[in-house]
Amino acid sequence: MLMDLRDVYTNISRRYESTNHLLTFGLDGSWRRLAGEVALRSALEAGSPGAGPWLDLCSGTGETAGLLASRPPGGACVISADFSVPMLREGIRRRGGSLIPVAASSSALPFPDDTFGLVTVTFAARNLRSRSGLFGESLSEIRRVLRPGGVFVNLETSQPRSALFRSLMHAYAKTAVGRLGRLLTGEKEGYAYLSGSIRTFPGAPDLAAEISSAGFSEVSWREIMLGAAAIHKGKA
């Protein structure tokens, strides 16, 4: 990928959340809340392996990290890690002391083995898969920093099973996402990339197979809005 995503997120950090809400008609927020509920419930069900601290990886402005931090059981701390410092700063501006920000690449995490009971990734897997090998490296790092029996939860757009709904979703991504994103943020290249990544990202069963191949067990998924998005979870 020729484009530097760090530059993209630097340019759109102040408008990132509002643009996402507009482009998804507010659905991204409800999907994040649902993923947060799945993550919290799964961590509790895992018992001591799922206890804190927790990590929200590729956290951006910390929307999901903030959701987790607002209801942590047993006082678990939530670390918000991202490769974009401007995005982390925007998260601090919006959410204050509820976030513990750490600048980090998903393929080289600065944490010891077996540190976390829960790792969440929301709307970032498409970026990781856009560079050869990065998604696999990131999954390996997630497994490394999760303690045995800890939980990984991933939220991402997906491919609807209905051919008609899938074609409508792709048409919206192709015509509206790129144009509206550029209009709202001034970022042309980044939203053109986003539009393409939505249309080429694998469906839920294929993504589950990739997560399983990375060594996670008990991998399952839940489709949202007829498969427009999916929540995957697995155990280290």
Domain boundaries, the chain: 5-156+203-235
Residue 108 DSSP SS3:
strand
Residue 2 banded pLDDT, cuts 50, 70, 90: very low
| CATH among 3.40.50.720, 3.90.550.10, 3.40.50.150, 3.40.1350.10 for 5-156+203-235 | 3.40.50.150
The Cα–Cα gap between 143 and 205 comes to 20
Give me the DSSP letters along 72-90. Answer: -GGG--EEEEES-HHHHHH
Structure tokens at 20: 């996402």
- In terms of Cβ atoms closer than 10 Å to its own Cβ (0-12, 13-18, 19+), residue 65 is buried
Give residue for tokens 């997560």: 211
The Cα–Cα gap between 196 and 175 comes to 10
User: What are the pLDDT digits (tens) for 52-100?
Assistant: 899 999 999 999 999 998 876 655 789 999 999 998 999 999 887 778 9
The Cα–Cα gap between 41 and 213 comes to 24
The Cα–Cα gap between 214 and 193 comes to 26
**What pLDDT was estimated at residue 181?**
60
User: What are the pLDDT digits (tens) for 217-230?
Assistant: 999 999 999 999 99
The Cα–Cα gap between 118 and 122 comes to 13
Query: What global pTM score does this model have?
Result: 0.91
Instruction: Name the β-bridge partners of 153.
Output: 120, 233
Q: What is the dihedral of CA 158, 15, 98, 231, to 10 degrees?
A: 0
